[in-house]
Structure 1
Amino acid sequence: MPINLKPRLRSFLLSHEGVLALLLVAEIAVFSVIGRNFLTTKNAFEIVRLGTEIGLLALALTPVIVTGGIDLSVGSLMGLSAVLFGKLWRDAHFPIALAGAATLGVGTVAGLLNATLITRLRIPPLIVTLGSFSLFRGLAEGITAGTDNFTKFPDSFLFLGQEYLFGVVPAQLPIFAAVAVAFGLLLHRTGLGRGLYAIGFSSEGARHAGIPVERRLTLVYLLSGVVASVAAVLYVSHNGQAKADAGTGYELRAITAVVLGGTSIFGGRGAIHGTLIGLFAIVVLQQGLLLSDGPAELAGILVGILLILAIAVNQLITKLASRRGPKGGAT
């Protein structure tokens, strides 16, 4: 084992994820010096809490983008799910658990809607999810008349998003960790996951190889919808309110985390651990600037620069791989 450890470590450090991990370490080192109380257990868990909802979306979007697709509707679906959850609880007097289950049902239906239009009608994912992006947000605003705000949720529910287990661990962390492990196993430890990479590399080639492309795509968009609803429930618990603007802009932040983490926007390449590193590179940057009294606008500028660099690096890696491919095959 010790003999094989060095080559693996070297390979990781030279990979996109490895470079990003070093950047994350550098961020932590800098903000530990210039930020107030940055290097504390409390702040570390606060960073996890701040990244939970966007992180859930990013985890679900990773397999979607690996297939060469996109889902721009997840942020709007969060808004729709949040207000439906609030309305079912306050106006229909559903118990919290039943309102949560119904909200997951909404996410399932929304995911199936996107999947059906993409797989059955062969409409490009960008067009489909851009349409559902507007549809879901419009429905959320219609339900609330643009102003209604659901509040006064029970303390037992708010505990999930605002309190700590054992006085230290954010209560939503086990949910986030479970979803991360589930997507990691799905994408990296199953034949289904390998099929998703094949679809992203070449959907026609995947069909010729016997992979049920439509069913696989249906699954990833279905999961995207369900996880967006889970994120909505956690969002409501975290913020103590459910409004139509819940999740606004979250889809772009989640996609940024995925692409920054090394997943190719063109499909065929990506990893859950890369998405997690990309997510925390963004959240650490934002929290570090906050504790350092840096301007909030600077975080957006720096994240934008990181994203452009990440896409450029991805393109470079793709070109290098394509050049090496024929040589490897010839020898």
Structure 2
Amino acid sequence: MSQPPAPVAASFAPPPPGPPPARSGGILAHLGWETILLVLVLLTAAVVAATGTLFRGTTPWFNLATAGLLASAFALSLRTATPNLAVGAIAVLAGATYAKLAENDVAGVLAGIVALLVALLVGVVLGLIAGLTSAPAWAVSLGGLGVAQGIAFGLLDGQAVQTGSGPAGTGRAILWTLVFVAISVGGGVLWLVPGVRAALGGNRAQDDPVRFRAAKLTGALAGLGGSSLLAGLSGVALVTYIGVASPASGDNLLFAAGAALLGGVSAFGGRGGIAGTVFASALLVFADQGLIQADVPRWVTFYLTAALAILVGVGVSRLIEATSGRYAPLPPPAVAPPPPGWVPQR
């Protein structure tokens, strides 16, 4: 009579909620690239300022603030490995909401708060869908892009709507720029905390992509919800500056993606530097200003420079991944021991 085998001891260690923190080489690679970006920003600013009016008036500052906030939004979604392709459309929706409320004599602060809540609501819904279904965030946010654009078009009836305020002064433009810098750099510093990366980076984890895990839901809510809120802030800032909202104002996804990737935020998710998004945004805005002063066609400055930044940024992502400490793979799933008395079948 065959005896049942002795139970096999199994060690059950639950998988970590997200990717383990990278080794110190990661931040050094980012700092090295950010130093190069800073030099490029200073050189570009010097050339453009010497040949034009880079720092005169409010336009360059507001361009940097609003475009930078949108880039920060996309960068957050990349860090959490939940790329939000709807950030541009959500910025338009927030601006349209603000404009319609202002048109109906709602106070500016209240209109701005409501517009931000609308943007946050869209992001939270997208995060819930992506987190609960484990669907790729880019696919979910693509649907959100269509929803946000449709609602914005309906709110504005396809036309431009005046907010009743004129262009803001230089002081407010610089204040918005400082808000952008504080959010972007502060977020980069916060991401250096291993616990933050582990809590919000679950969507980069190397396991079954369709398996539900609470860490994926947390990362999706933070990435899609937080990026939508920042996109809404960009849309509101733009509308308060130009005094008008239209179905296309603020939809600058290509710039946002280009600045985030060029700034060193990894296309693979999980990694990001400290001030890279700020430097890359400034570089693109200053270069764009110089090209406009040189009468370069707008289709070049709006599309081709952003596309080039995206392609270069993908290469930067790959270089940083190759020179940084690698994330350790998740452990294989534990195998349960056979029940007592179990006899192998022959």
TM-score range, shorter chain: 0.7 to 0.9
- Aligned structure 1 segments of 4 or more residues deviating by more than 4 angstroms: 11-14, 320-323
Aligned twin of 2:67:
54
Cα gap change, 1:141 to 1:260, in 2 (>3 Å): same
Among 200, 212, 216, the alignment partner of 2:215 is: 212
Contact 1:162–1:171 (8 Å) recurs in 2? no
Q: Does 1:101 align with 2:113?
A: yes
Once the two structures are superposed, residues 215-261 of structure 1 have per-residue CA deviations (whole angstroms, 9 ceiling, x without a partner) of 2321222111212221121111111112222222x122111100011
Contact 1:55–1:254 (8 Å) recurs in 2? yes
The residue type equivalent to 1:246 in the other structure is S
Aligned twin of 1:202:
205
Aligned twin of 1:18:
35
Aligned twin of 2:168:
162
Aligned twin of 1:83:
96
Hey, what's the Cα distance between the residues in 1 that align with 2:168 and 2:39? 31
Superposition CA RMSD, Å: 3.1
Hey, what's the Cα distance between the residues in 1 that align with 2:70 and 2:175? 18
Question: What percentage of aligned pairs have identical amino acids?
Answer: 24
Aligned twin of 1:67:
80
Among 260, 263, 271, the alignment partner of 1:261 is: 263
What is the Cα deviation at residue 56 of structure 1?
A: 0.7
Contact 2:52–2:293 (8 Å) recurs in 1? yes
Hey, what's the Cα distance between the residues in 2 that align with 1:169 and 1:75? 20
Cα gap change, 1:114 to 1:272, in 2 (>3 Å): farther
Hey, what's the Cα distance between the residues in 2 that align with 1:259 and 1:305? 11
Once the two structures are superposed, residues 121-162 of structure 1 have per-residue CA deviations (whole angstroms, 9 ceiling, x without a partner) of 222111111111011101111222212x321524xxx5xx62
Cα gap change, 1:114 to 1:287, in 2 (>3 Å): same
Among 146, 155, 160, the alignment partner of 1:134 is: 146
What is the Cα deviation at residue 108 of structure 1?
A: 1.6
Aligned twin of 1:42:
56
Among 188, 196, 201, the alignment partner of 1:184 is: 188
Cα gap change, 1:216 to 1:27, in 2 (>3 Å): same
Hey, what's the Cα distance between the residues in 2 that align with 1:79 and 1:229? 8
Hey, what's the Cα distance between the residues in 2 that align with 1:303 and 1:108? 26
Hey, what's the Cα distance between the residues in 2 that align with 1:138 and 1:153? 24
Contact 2:75–2:260 (8 Å) recurs in 1? yes
The residue type equivalent to 1:218 in the other structure is L
What is the Cα deviation at residue 193 of structure 1?
A: 3.8
Deviates more, 1:183-192 or 1:221-230: 183-192
Q: So what's the TM-score if we normalise by structure 1?
A: 0.78
Q: Does 1:281 align with 2:300?
A: no
Q: Does 1:245 align with 2:238?
A: no
The residue type equivalent to 1:77 in the other structure is I
Contact 2:199–2:218 (8 Å) recurs in 1? no
Gap regions ≥5 residues in structure 2: 1-24, 329-346
Instruction: State the secondary structure of the residue aligned to 1:131.
Output: helix
Once the two structures are superposed, residues 144-188 of structure 1 have per-residue CA deviations (whole angstroms, 9 ceiling, x without a partner) of 2212x321524xxx5xx62133xx963423432442354234323
Contact 2:64–2:285 (8 Å) recurs in 1? yes
Instruction: State the secondary structure of the residue aligned to 1:63.
Output: helix
Cα gap change, 1:81 to 1:13, in 2 (>3 Å): closer
Higher-Rg structure is 2
Contact 2:96–2:156 (8 Å) recurs in 1? yes
What is the Cα deviation at residue 111 of structure 1?
A: 0.9
What is the Cα deviation at residue 73 of structure 1?
A: 0.8
Q: Does 1:221 align with 2:224?
A: yes
